Amino acid sequence: MTSTVAPPPYYENHGFQPENIYSARQPVGANPYPPYFSTSAPSVPSCVPRVVTHQSSRPVASSSGRTCASTVKKIIIIILSILIVICCAIAAFFIWYFVDNRCMSSLIECGSSGVCIPPSQWCDGVSHCPNGEDETRCVRLFGPNFILQVYSPISKSWYSVCQDGWNDDYGKTACKDMGYNVDSYYYSRGVATEVSFKSYMKLNTSAGNIDLYKKLYSSDSCGSGNVVSLRCIECGLATKSVSIMNRIVGGSGAVLGQWPGPGRRFSDPFGWRVYAGILNQNEMLLGKGYRVQQIISHPDYDTDSKDNDVALMKLETPLSFTDTVRPVCLPNPGMMFQPNQQCWISGWGAEYQGGKTSNNLNYVMVPLIEHARCNSVYIYNGMILPTMICAGYLGGGYDSCQGDSGGPLVTNKNSVWWLVGDTSWGTGCASPNRPGVYGNMTVFTDWIYKNMQVKDLGVFNFKYPNS
C-alpha cells in the first residue's frame, strides 16, 4: 500500500487575503474609464487664462491666474504635510521596534545593556555580558519535584543543591534569578535525594554577605540527605474537580474555574487584550481585559512547517489570581510524558469541521501519541518535528479545531497540572489518522526562562488578593 505526503495543515490562520483589484480587459468600444469615476461628478478646476473680448489701451489684470496658483500651492502644502506625517509615523515605528527589540534572530539581550549574545554562550563559564548575567543565573528546577539545580561551567554539569544551611531567603534569590516575581514565592523545603545524585552543591554559610552562587561549592556528600525543592509560584493546583464526559469537537462545556489557565496570537501587542476567569466569549464585551505590552515570538518560528510555534506575552499590569484564575506549571527539565498519558485541551473553537467558533468554553480529554507513530506514513508522514507533539484518537471523533489555536494542552502528574503543549495545527478536525498537533512545551522551557530572566516578562506577572 502506497501513501503520499499528507496535505498541509487545515486549521491554521492564513491571515487576510486581498481581493483582485484589477478589472478584466474591456471589450472594444467600451468606456475605458472605471465605473466608479462618475461622469456627473464635478471636474478638477483647471487654470484657464482670461480671454479679453475687446481691445483696450489699458492692460487688463487676470485674477484667475492668481487664484489657480494659490489653489495649487495649497494642494501641494497639504500633500507634503500628509507625507511628512506618514514618514514620521513610519520612523517612530522603526525606532520603537529596534529599541524594544535590539536583539534580532535567536540572540538574547544581557539585561538592559543592549549587548546581545547567542544562547550557546549562556552558562559556558565565560562572562560575555557586561554585568555577567550569562553566568550568574545558571539555575533551574528539575523534574516533577521542582529540585533546585545549579550549573557548573567547570564540569559542564547540573548539580542539585543540598538543603544543609538553606532557607527561604536563598530560595527567593534563586527564584528572582530565574525571572519570577519575589511576591509569587511559594515555598522551599527538602526532599529525599535520589540514588542518581552523586555530587551536590552545598552552601558555605560562613562566606559572609556575598552573592548566593559564590557561596556554593561542589561536594560529594549531603549531610541532611535532602536536596532543595523550590516552588517559585503556586502553580498547577486544581480549583474544580474535572468530570470526564464523552462528548472544541466531541467536547463538553466547561465550569467556571475548571480550566483556570487561559491564552491567544498576532504580533501587534496594542491590538490584544487578555481575559481571565470567563467562560463565554461575549463576556469580553463587558470587561476591559489586560493590555499587552510586548509579544515575543520564537525567533525560529517557521510559517510553513509550524516549527517553534510559540510566543510569550508581557502584560502592562499584573494579572490577579483568584479561585478561578490560576497559573499552570511549566514542565521542568527531566520530565517525561508517556504515550497514552491523559491530557486535556480547551478552547472556544469550532465544534465541527468548517463550523463557527463556540461562544462557550469547551474541553475534552485526548491521549498523547508516540512521536514515531504520529510521524508514520499512514498519519503525518514525517511532518512532526521535535518541537511538536501529537494528541488525540486515531479513530477520530475528539479533537481541537479552527479557533482553538494557542489553547493549552495540559496533564495532571504528581497532583500538579503541567502545560504539555499549545494547540498548533492539524489536518481537518477529528478525522481518522489525523490527530491534533501541539507545540512541545518541554522543548521551549529553556527559551522561556531565558526570556524571563532578561526581560522581566509579565507572562508570569501577577498578584494574589490582598498582597
pLDDT of residue 30: 45
| Predicted pLDDT at 93 | 67
CA atoms of 280 and 359, how far apart (whole Å): 5
| Residue 202: per-residue pLDDT | 92
| 179 burial via Cβ count (<10 Å: 0-12, 13-18, 19+) | buried
Residue range(s) of every CATH 2.40.10.10 domain in the chain: 252-463
Give the tens place of pLDDT for each residue, 267-297.
678 888 888 888 888 888 877 789 999 888 8
Backbone angles phi, psi at 401, to 5 degrees: -150, -170
Q: What DSSP line would sit under 3-50, residue for residue? A: --PPPPPSS----------PPPPPPTTS--S-TTS-TTSPPPP---PP
pLDDT (0 to 100) of residue 268: 75
Distance CA 358, CA 365 (A): 18
In the beta sheet, which residues pair with residue 55?
Answer: none
* DSSP at 182: G
With residue 58 as reference, give the H or E element that holds it.
none
Cell, residue 381: 508522514
Q: What's the pLDDT score for residue 432?
A: 94
- Residue-level length of the chain: 467
Q: What are the start and end residues of each CATH 3.10.250.10 domain in the chain?
A: 116-231
Q: Averaged in consecutive runs of 10 residues, what is the pLDDT profile of the chain (467 residues)? A: 52 40 41 42 44 44 64 85 85 58 63 72 78 77 93 84 93 89 91 83 84 86 92 84 42 50 61 85 82 89 93 88 89 92 90 82 92 96 96 91 88 94 91 94 90 60 36
List pLDDT tens digits, range 112-135. Answer: 667 888 777 777 777 888 877 777
The residues, ordered by sequence, that sit 6+ positions from 97 with a Cβ below 8 Å of its Cβ are: none
What's the confidence (pLDDT) of residue 410? Answer: 95
Classified by CATH at the fold level, domain 116-231 comes out as Mac-2 Binding Protein (3.10.250)
Architecture of the domain made up of 252-463 = Beta Barrel (2.40)
Contact 249, 399 (CB under 8 A): yes
